[in-house]
Amino acid sequence: MPSLKEVRNRITSTISTQQITSAMKMVSAAKLRRAQDAIIQLRPYAGKLKDILSNITSSADSSSGGDFAKKKPVKNVLLVVITSNRGLCGAFNSNVIKLASRTVREKYAEQKKAGNVQVLAIGKKAADFFRKANYKIFSNNSELLNGLNYENTSVVAETIMKKFAIGEFDAVELFYNQFKNAASQNLTSEQYLPVAAPAQDKNAKKTTIDYIYEPDKEEIVKELIPKALRIQLYKALLDSYAAEHGARMTSMHKATDNANEILRDLRLTYNKARQATITKEILEIVGGAEALKN
């Protein structure tokens, strides 16, 4: 049985850890509310814009669709992997990294073998992992998460679009956690470029929405595609940001509960050790008194 001093030290350190996890839980809960409001407000606009873009590009010819809708043989691939800058959020980061790694093995094995797979990391956890895994790091944009806004995200989206347009990349995919609620996230991978046509249900009739274009179709599409791509990346970042704080809040809540259980066991151990010490001292006193009598 450990000594009383050892048990007291463990109780003190556990209480300190519990205070930290409880504080982190409250901070993440406050940040989650703001992040959740932001993504919920953006989703209807981003979803409708994506639907319009997909319908236009599916019916557009190569000239009106622009460079961003052209499908090419995939030789060079860019993976945009969105994680967090910090840990203590359960499997939030590792799940995204595993999804991206599995996609490379199953879909881009030849490109990886030829050294034609690059990673644009948004989040220090993704940058650290893929650097150690000997992937080519196209860029590390972890600072985006420190002051997340549309303007900074647009700069990154413009860079990706320019590289795709000049043929440096033939395919770009997004990997991130989509926010569902505070307790769960949907692991998501999306084709970012080229712009994908809308998925058609096999049992449903193929329908194409007939839009009225003004001034003309080509000009509208050329303006709409870059805007939709910037919004798509910004939405993915907002989703990941909200999901991160939801995961961290849940993780810290569990850590706080575990600390309570550990404290209960430690206090029970402490009381047993203290009782054993008192019993031993009483026996020593009684034994000494009996010895004096004799």
Given its phi and psi angles, is residue 233 left (phi above 0), alpha (psi -120 to 50 degrees) or beta? alpha
Contact 58, 207 (CB under 8 A): no
Amino acid 193 reads L
Alpha helices in the chain (DSSP H): 4-59, 62-65, 92-107, 109-113, 124-132, 150-165, 217-293
Q: What is the DSSP string of 67-112?
A: GGG------SEEEEEE--SS--STTHHHHHHHHHHHHHHHHSHHHH
Task: Calculate helix-pair angle for 150-165, 217-293, nearest 10 degrees.
Answer: 120
Backbone angles phi, psi at 119, to 5 degrees: -120, 130
> Which residue is associated with the tokens 């557009």?
60
Residue 132: how many other CB atoms lie within 10 Å? 8
The radius of gyration of the chain from alpha carbons, rounded to an integer in Å, stands at 28
Angstrom distances, CA of residue 180 to CA of 10, 185, 219, 239, 248 = 38, 5, 36, 9, 14
Catalytic residue among 7, 32, 46, 89: 89
User: Is 89 noted as a catalytic residue in this protein?
Assistant: yes
Write the CB contacts of 217 (distance below 8 Å, at least 6 apart in sequence).
Answer: 56, 60, 64
Q: What span, in angstroms and rounded, lies between the C-alpha atoms of 294 and 290?
A: 7
Catalytic residue numbers, as ranges = 89
